[in-house]
Amino acid sequence: MTYEEPTPQDVIEQLSARKADALNTLDMLRAQRAKVVEESGKFESPQAVLEYLDFFIPAFEEVVAELDRISGEIVVRVTRAHIDVLRQVAANCRTEQRRCLIFRDKCINRPLPHESMRPLLNDISVTTRDQLTAFFDLNSAAAKLERIINTTHPEPEPEPKRVLGRRELFTSLFKLPKD
């Protein structure tokens, strides 16, 4: 088995897969939001559910836009900024998983006025959590871009340090004062 260095095309394919996932998730979240609005009388706090959805829908749309932008730019040139954006998105997704847990605690893991709404609430929670988890893969894409940068623009080798003998070392450290 031989190891091949990643190419920008490999990363573009990976970003396209994450984008496709996100677009499917956005369609599902929008449909779930419409159902929450339609059935709002059956929720104890429909506003909390809508706020949760209204946080994640634009956030996922923003990630899709970033993935599009990066995919278009890395064909021409891979930059450190692309790597930083992908890592930041992955880190933000890890942080936002806490929001999913809070949503579950406040809206799902309790007696509901209409138990028939529990599957919808659970689907909303699972859908957002799964999409956040899928975005962790952006760390892998960032690592591939890092390898691409390092192979196309390797770090300059530092000049070898000159080894000083004992006499030279002391002479350089303790120069005799000039008269």
- What local confidence, expressed as pLDDT, does residue 34 receive? 97
Residue 118 lies in a domain: yes
Residue 87 lies in a domain: yes
Number of domains comprising the chain: 1
Residue 3 lies in a domain: no
Tell if the pTM clears 0.85, that is, is over it.
no
Give dist(CA 144, CA 135) in Å, integer: 15
Residue 16 lies in a domain: yes
Residue 53 lies in a domain: yes
- What local confidence, expressed as pLDDT, does residue 152 receive? 67
- What local confidence, expressed as pLDDT, does residue 1 receive? 47
Residue 168 lies in a domain: no
Residue 107 lies in a domain: yes
Residue-wise pLDDT tens for the chain (179 aa)? 446 888 899 999 999 999 999 999 999 999 999 999 999 999 999 999 999 999 999 999 999 999 999 999 999 999 999 999 999 999 999 999 999 999 999 999 999 999 999 999 999 999 999 999 999 999 999 999 999 988 865 555 555 666 666 666 556 555 655 65
Chain centroid offset of residue 155 CA: 26
- What local confidence, expressed as pLDDT, does residue 165 receive? 63
Residue 171 lies in a domain: no
Structural domain of residue 133, as residue ranges? 8-154
- What local confidence, expressed as pLDDT, does residue 5 receive? 86
